[in-house]
Structure 1
């Protein structure tokens, strides 16, 4: 586009030997990176920034990503250390933290904690559709809990409403006395047993990395409050939460998609956060662009903000 500023999508497609759909996707990505800008005379026509400006934009973007990651890591580390320090002072060092490095140990601990649970079990299950084998393994434990009168509050992502296996399991849970709700995004995989212990992943992006069991009033109270906050905003199972539209005509998933993309996430990263496939995410974005009458994702972002669709 720098060498042939007069070329449009058809010319670029022929020159590169690629379908026009891929050219449009590439132009969208360049717009996201702010390497293409609308012409002042006609905002529907995109022009590339100069090479030196483009390099500066990419370097600044990368520096900002590194800075933000460092700040988030430092803030997260400080928060965890503060919780542990507070817990240590309150309990005289009696808080609990134990790593469970293998799937077998995690399953053994999950069974033990489930059998000892007497009042309430709270859980987050991100990632969209749940593996059938995992659902089948959970059924006897959940049945035993509900049979003892333990309160169960289970949170899935809205996208599970498109998966028959997870839907059937959620229906079985509610029919058996459990409570199930869904929301667009969940913060982390978590199971809370009474007010005594919680299982969390060592690495939220890699469940195979193992889990940790944490305990102690301070930590458990904070995690319980997190679950209750998400629970209050979630939709009860049985309602079409992912299809209900707000005042702007957006579903919960669509609004979350816009928020995630506004933060600079790729389609792949946004899809993972929403627990949906990349193709589904792209179809959703295409639908939003059509409703906004936008020719590019950059223009869609501008129009979405103008419509008040972004916070």
Structure 2
């Protein structure tokens, strides 16, 4: 009977056939017959395992007329050995796909129906966060609200978001996204926005800094955790409603991304300038101010330099005095 070729046993037999047993088979082919008194048939001989394997596989058959073991053409055995393994592989692939579908369905139910006692949960690690977000967005049926602060997003993050968001839009999910004004200056951001808008997404920008937020079907919200490697998932209905209200207020003040006229660009530049002035007068550090404005520290420094030139001063102290004096002069008389 032909031995099983499944699992580790099958791998071990193939390895042996590739090496010692294969060489023995070639020797028997060259010799023509393996005689019954051949020392390689003895159990204590090192080649005995190879002989046994060749017999089990049907590559050696006993021929009484020839008086020994004759080699058999491997091609005649291939269908009986390889074809069953191919069928098993197809069956395993189908079974693995079925398992994946079943587990995916259960995972979706888990995400959509949190435990009654859990108002929120924390996810640690960017990989875990991205996996959760991928699944949660794929579960979306009606609406996605997203707020992405701090200027342009990185190309890699945009590529991941683009695939995920397009799938949602193609399912008919309504998507509204809010960025800061400075995101308009990035070519990759403009390309991403153009694709999303063509698929029906609504996108606006705002001058002020805001916290990152994702709301899915008004039942689940994701906000930043205590570090950049953590995120908090909120399930509580009233907390989610509160975050939606915060988003809607910012959305009302935002400017449509597709309306980029000269007047709009001038107004956006004025809003960025006004925010920069406010950061200076409130005494924030450059790094904190740059984050609020949504630009790099170097770009923020160039904004400050432009203000110095505008007011005709050399130092930030002088700039503060000059701006304060101008505010006093422009204030109405009491």
Q: 2: distance between equivalents of 1:297 and 1:96? A: 47
SS at match of 1:195: coil
Tell me which of 110, 119, 126 is aligned to 1:96: 119
Q: 1: distance between equivalents of 2:223 and 2:124? A: 12
SS at match of 1:244: helix
Tell whether 2:240 aligns with 1:217. Answer: no
Report 1:137-286 matches (<5 A): 137-203=160-226, 206-207=227-228, 209-240=229-260, 243-245=265-267, 251-286=270-305
- Contact preservation (8 Å) 1:184, 1:253: yes
Alpha-carbon RMSD? 2.5
Against the structure 1 CA distance between its residues 296 and 224, is the aligned structure 2 distance closer, same or farther, given a 3 Å change threshold?
A: same
Per-residue deviation at 1:210? 1.3
Segments of 5+ residues of structure 1 without an aligned counterpart are 1-91
Tell whether 2:128 aligns with 1:105. Answer: yes
SS at match of 2:258: coil
Aligned twin of 1:291: 310
SS at match of 2:304: helix
Higher relative contact order (CA 8 A, sep 6+): 1
Per-residue deviation at 1:242? 7.8
SS at match of 2:283: coil
- Contact preservation (8 Å) 2:147, 2:179: yes
Describe the superposition over 1:268-292 as per-residue Cα deviations: whole angstroms up to 9, x where unpaired. Answer: 2211222212222122112222222
SS at match of 1:294: coil
Against the structure 1 CA distance between its residues 297 and 150, is the aligned structure 2 distance closer, same or farther, given a 3 Å change threshold?
A: same
Segments of 5+ residues of structure 2 without an aligned counterpart are 1-114
Describe the superposition over 1:4-57 as per-residue Cα deviations: whole angstroms up to 9, x where unpaired. Answer: xxxxxxxxxxxxxxxxxxxxxxxxxxxxxxxxxxxxxxxxxxxxxxxxxxxxxx
Per-residue deviation at 1:245? 3.1
Aligned twin of 1:33: none
Q: 1: distance between equivalents of 2:189 and 2:220? A: 26
Per-residue deviation at 1:230? 0.9
Per-residue deviation at 1:95? 5.0
Which range moves more in the overlay, 296-305 or 122-131?
Answer: 296-305
Q: 1: distance between equivalents of 2:238 and 2:322? A: 44
Tell me which of 317, 320, 324 is aligned to 1:305: 324
- Contact preservation (8 Å) 2:151, 2:182: yes
Per-residue deviation at 1:297? 2.1
Q: 1: distance between equivalents of 2:290 and 2:264? A: 15
- Contact preservation (8 Å) 1:159, 1:242: no
- Contact preservation (8 Å) 1:242, 1:251: no
Q: What is the aligned length? A: 214
